[in-house]
Chains A and B, each alone.
Chain A
């Protein structure tokens, strides 16, 4: 298991370099120039050139990339053009705000999607299942930003229960709705598949109570795909954070990222992209490990025959 873990950890290095390479070049493909935003256009062209040279923007892009990479491997992601602060510091300052949104949303999603999915599968075709089928298709097809705006309209403007911005509740609900719909469907599908397996018929033939058949025999197997999906849904959470934090003016990493993109703040964009990428690939790694822990058929090194 440990050997497997370190091997997978090493595989992340080329993956992250690849991500940085693509992001860096795509970022520079976007039109616009950071100096246009930060510097008074009436300033002396010589001064402008001096600033550009200072930021290294006068050099060919491949050279800029190599320099960025060389610094990045030493954990120096440069300084934000806007504030002059180190990028790492800027991210570290905003990260807790994003996590305070993401972690409860993640947990809430799990707590809701497993029971709902399981119950829908067990009572397939019942009113509960039908209601949640409609709701989850609606949840999957309605874009997050619209859900966010509608919630804001209802709870902040009409009912005046919650402030529109700077409050955790509405962004948290919006984020959870976004990830809930799909995961509930996955859990339902996984459970349905397991319930149709022969060994469930065996369990019933043994005379086990239905409760034991469902929670012990079926659920244990139906949780395996969910572990993977939860790992793979991390990027969605990050993507969602960019949108949701912007809508609700939540001072997290996602909003910082959106601001960085609009102001072509290259070091900050790269810093946030790489940091998100790192979290996502680590999330996938942990999903794989979790997978191995819950499925006895996958034991990477144990003496299981």
Chain B
């Protein structure tokens, strides 16, 4: 679905993404693992065209409008929702723009209700402001917001790393369920292998802007080739 070739992005002297090639197949869930600063989020932002690459190409197969078909769930639900905008409006905004539903108030409200229901939040949350929600609830809003444009491809940029462990599992299970129901493709970013192992079919290990190895989850977890992957495996808690 998405194929990245020799992608590069430097910020000054920092080689955030330094010649990355990888492919995300339709319907799969690719895990991108690496420590902080390894360039995972920059790569995700490049794929979503939120920033422009210095060189390299990205091919999108079956994606017409990137803003509509590709969406992202950000790491920190605390800061990624506008504090002055009600939940319902935050979720509903992309609908009118991407013409998902007829631009009528009742239609949009129904769709907001459906989306809240999909992420298992009560419909009356639509009238609340983000500060009145817990961290886990906010991340559910973040997911509903990402789904509002009926995307096919979702980047999950460490969606659970700022949440409590008990909430983490709930959100991960919700994401798995949504993927199955809506036939989504995921690029799942995390810095620990246990979450990725739980979520993904394939794993790409990233360090200092480069992909060290890519393989199926079983392969990477059972027989890692790169010494860095082995190191990551040893340091991650077992789920």
Contact = CB atoms under 8 A, between A and B. Distances in A.
B84 A220 contact: yes
A201 interface: yes
Nearest to B68: A207
Contact of B80 (A201, A207, A296): A201
Interface string B47-74: 0101000000000000001011001101
A210 to B, nearest CB: 12
Contact of B48 (A199, A205, A209, A220): A205
Contacts of A217: 82, 85
Contact of B50 (A201, A216, A221, A294): A201
Contacts of A205: 48, 50, 67, 71-72
Contacts of B71: 205
Given A202-B74, A202-B81, A297-B129, A207 B94 contact: yes
A212 B80 CA distance: 16
A204 interface: yes
Contact of A221 (B48, B82, B145): B82
B98 interface: yes
A304 B124 CA distance: 12
A296 B50 contact: no
A297 B83 contact: yes
Contact of A297 (B79, B131, B145): B131
Per DSSP, are chain A's interface residues mostly helix, strand or loop, or mixed?
helix
Sorting the interface of chain B by its residue count into under 10, 10 to 19, 20 to 34 or 35 or more gives 20 to 34
A206 B145 contact: yes
A295 interface: yes
**Which of B48, B93, B149 has the most chain A CB atoms inside 10 A of its CB?**
B93
Contacts of B67: 205-207
Interface in A221-249: 221
B230 interface: no
B67 to A, nearest CB: 3
Nearest to A299: B129
A198 interface: yes
B223 interface: no
Contact of A199 (B65, B68, B82, B149): B82
Interface string A24-39: 0000000000000000
Contact of B82 (A202, A295, A305): A202
B188 to A, nearest CB: 17
A202 B94 contact: no
Contacts of B145: 202, 206
Interface string A186-225: 0000000000011111111111110010001100110000
Nearest to B131: A297
Interface string B152-173: 0000000000000000000000
A208 to B, nearest CB: 6
21 contacts: A197-B79, A199-B80, A199-B81, A200-B82, A202-B82, A205-B48, A205-B50, A205-B71, A205-B72, A206-B149, A207-B65, A207-B67, A207-B97, A207-B98, A207-B149, A212-B93, A220-B84, A221-B84, A294-B84, A295-B83, A297-B129
Given A199-B83, A205-B71, A207-B65, 18 more contacts: A197-B79, A198-B80, A199-B82, A201-B80, A202-B74, A204-B50, A205-B72, A206-B67, A206-B97, A206-B148, A207-B149, A212-B93, A216-B85, A221-B84, A295-B84, A296-B84, A297-B129, A304-B132
Interface of A: 197-209, 212, 216-217, 220-221, 294-297, 304-305
